[in-house]
């Protein structure tokens, strides 16, 4: 009987600890992420990684396009807190620009909720195309 009471007490303590942990707000990853100037400092790791992957796909680049990479091959390591590469500051300026466009313009004229993203202009290229595609050929007359 005593074993059951001890076991029951431990179970109750474990449940209380779990409930207390659930009631606490999730800790921000701010100790892990340094030097965030546009993204929120309390961004969750999964959200940050998803955003970075979207940037990479939208521009057709890899992480080392903006982030300093030390070492080579399997020993390469990104140093995301460094601001050595000018591409990183360009990325921040572009993020501010798209945030401003979406807040001040798109939100006022677009009832469908579509927003401007990196892909809107870049379409998988570091430098967006600045020329119009060729005009379609005129339809043949019958």
pLDDT digits (tens, 9 = 90+) for 70-93: 988 888 899 999 999 999 999 999
The C-alpha R_g of the chain, in whole angstroms, comes to 25
Measured CA to CA, the distance from residue 9 to residue 2 in angstroms comes to 11
The reported pTM is: 0.69
Residue 73: the pLDDT is: 83
Residue 28 has pLDDT above 60, yes or no: no
DSSP of 46-115? HHHHHHHHHHHHHHT--GGGTSEEES-GGG-EEETT---SHHHHHHHHHHHHHHHHIIIIIHHH-TT---
24-38, 43-57, 61-75: which has the highest mean pLDDT?
43-57
């Amino acid at each position: 009987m005593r074993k059951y009471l001890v076991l029951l007490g431990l179970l109750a303590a474990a449940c209380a600890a779990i409930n207390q942990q659930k009631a606490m707000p999730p800790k921000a990853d701010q100790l892990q992420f340094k030097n965030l100037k546009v993204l929120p400092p309390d961004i969750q790791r999964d959200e940050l990684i998803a955003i970075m992957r979207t940037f990479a796909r939208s521009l057709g680049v890899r992480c080392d396009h903006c982030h300093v990479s030390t070492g080579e091959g399997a020993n390469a390591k990104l140093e995301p807190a460094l601001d050595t590469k000018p591409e990183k500051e360009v990325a921040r300026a572009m993020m501010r620009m798209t945030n401003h466009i979406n807040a001040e313009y798109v939100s006022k004229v677009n009832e469908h909720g579509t927003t401007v993203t990196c892909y809107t202009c870049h379409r998988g290229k570091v430098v967006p195309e600045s020329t119009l595609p060729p005009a379609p050929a005129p339809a043949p007359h019958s």
